[in-house]
Amino acid sequence: MGARAALQHAIQSPTIWDALILFSPNPGIENEPEREQRRQADEALAQRMEAEGLVPFLEYWRSTPLIQSQQNIPTEWLQTMQSNRLRQSTQGLAQSLRQFGQGNCPNLWPKLDVLQIPLLCITGESDTKYSKISERIARELMNATHITIPEAGHMPHLEKPRASVETVNAFLRQFTN
């Protein structure tokens, strides 16, 4: 959701950004029937969370293919993440799905061209869905680059932090020379 929020803000206020670094971004669902299907899926997840409670929902969530790669995050970080998640409210997380899930977020693909700044998309090698999306962003925007982090999934910045930092630093060096 962080990449989605940053991308949305950058498109709404492109003149205040000098560059943009996005981990596993998705500018949105283009097809309206697919967006509606996603809205329904997010609503079903929100209802499941409200009915079962936070702990059972988090156990289910960790088992989903997209999230399973988080097992590669260093143990102490993973424990901190889990502790933070357990402090969240079921109602707040359900509302987040309803209001900021992919199905309710705007389709930003037609607006990407307002971004005239350098853009770096970073994805994990095993996150094929978001890697394909980032490849498309790089094809459509002349100022965009996509880098894939080997042996990482949807959260390469946590799963392979050293490689992610090196990638970000290499991108940022172009602004300091």
**Final residue in a domain of this structure, among 105, 130, 148:** 105
Task: Quote the pLDDT of residue 177.
Answer: 63
- 52, 59 in Cβ contact below 8 A? no
Sheet holding 144-149, edge to edge: 20-23, 119-124, 144-149
Please indicate, yes or no, whether residues 133 and 77 belong to a single structural domain of this protein: no
Domain termination residue (choose one: 85, 105, 125): 105
pLDDT score, position 65:
86
Number of compact structural domains in the chain: 2
pTM of the prediction?
A: 0.92
Domain boundary among 41, 76, 105: 105
Share of the chain above pLDDT 70, in %: 99
Q: In terms of Cα–Cα distance, which of 66, 38, 62, 61 is closest to 49?
A: 61
> Mean pLDDT, 10 residues at a time, over the chain (177 residues)?
93 95 97 96 96 93 87 91 93 94 94 96 97 98 97 96 98 87
Structural domain boundaries enclosing 85:
31-105
Same domain, 96 and 125: no
| 101 plus 111 within the same structural domain | no
Question: 132 and 120 in one domain?
Answer: yes
Question: For residue 66, what pLDDT is reported?
Answer: 86
Burial of 111 (0-12, 13-18, 19+ CB in 10 A): middle
143: its two tokens:
């100022």
Q: 83 and 120: one domain? A: no
111, 177: one domain: yes
